[in-house]
Structure 1
């Protein structure tokens, strides 16, 4: 069942990632995305540093985002074939809403950067939980663009890094449950 809101645990048990290419209208409003981001900020944050940021890419900015990605991709792969460029273009236009999540570590802090990066990841997960709780699905992707400096520089500056592109919308097809880790392997009791 998708978005079972009968209890907080049911909501958590039914959350799954949506493939961005399978997310369509209706999407969240700008106010709903802003609320999702506010909820995402309620994440563990040692030192109260808020070592993350969210940048909303409005629908009207998708052409500019696609142009940025195409330029960056061509810079990395000058011999790129049209099929590759079409995939880059499609990436920019997936799902009705797009949030670029940035890990923004405070390098002068006594809090280790690793802890700050974990906090950024937790903020992204909270954003996905908020989208799910509001009746949408989200897909968190990184791909080559998250590691490209030209793309990163369009949204922030070093030492920031793109934690991911979070696409949000309504599933256009039933979401399938994927295999989950074997708890006998991933959850253990410590024996001193």
Structure 2
């Protein structure tokens, strides 16, 4: 399949369908090298990537279970177990965080978009290599205590995504895509 065909058929795999095995160190290194080849105005590298294998996923899961219980004291055991399992749904979890330099000539939005491009490149690289992949944020990305646990400053840093990588248990179904006429316009409009 050529690059254009790949991009026209690209499909994330539901995290529920991602299973073992995950990328080994060599495959992960290729994915990460591709991930960092993004637009980066000012060469700031305003993002960081954390690799969580099973031990890190379990530690994060325990923290999420406790954090969820603290935020939702009426939570039942099934809900708490789901939160504990949340970061452990795939063999490999990557966390991408924006490390924005405030008061810099490069606008903050451009720095965040560069981090978003890192997430997208991870997704594309993993899928192109034949792995299953999904980019999700969910509530932990917006929780200051989760940001701190991962070693970041919630005053300046934002989690841009949790990227789950592994093997697809089954091929993903196609999903509806927007009609170009609904999302693309010409400017100025011609008669």
- What is the TM-score of this pair, normalised by structure 2? 0.92
Which of 163, 172, 176 is equivalent to 1:175? Answer: 172
Distance in 1 (CA, whole Å) between partners of 2:25 and 2:14 is 21
Q: Which residue of 2 aligns with 1:160?
A: 157
**Over aligned residues, Cα RMSD in angstroms?**
1.3
In 1, the alpha carbon distance for the partners of 2:164 and 2:106 equals 30
Spell out, residue by residue over 1:128-179, the C-alpha distance to the aligned partner (whole angstroms, 9 max, x if none): 0100111112111111111111111122223111111100111101211100
Determine the structure 2 residue equivalent to 1:128.
Answer: 123
**Mapped pair 1:187 → 2:175:** no
Q: Is 2:98 the partner of 1:103? A: yes
SS at match of 2:104: coil
Any unmatched runs of 5+ in structure 2?
none
2:58 maps to 1:37: no
1:21-69 alpha-carbon deviations (Å, 9 max, x no partner): 2101221013322321221111111111111111000123222121111
List alignment gaps of at least 5 residues for structure 1: 1-5
Question: Please, which of 87, 94, 98 is the counterpart of residue 92 of structure 1?
Answer: 87
1:20-31 equivalences in 2 (<5 Å) = 20-31=15-26
Query: 2:30 and 2:54 mapped to 1: Cα distance?
Result: 18
| Runs of 4+ residues over 4 Å off in structure 1 | none
Please report how far the alpha carbon of residue 107 of structure 1 lies from its aligned counterpart in structure 2 after TM superposition.
1.0
Q: Distance in 2 between matches of 1:80 and 1:149?
A: 20
The alpha-carbon deviation at position 92 of structure 1 amounts to 2.0
Deviation at 1:83, TM superposition (A): 2.1
SS in 2 for 1:168: strand
1:147 is matched with 142
Give the structure 2 partner of residue 138 of structure 1.
133
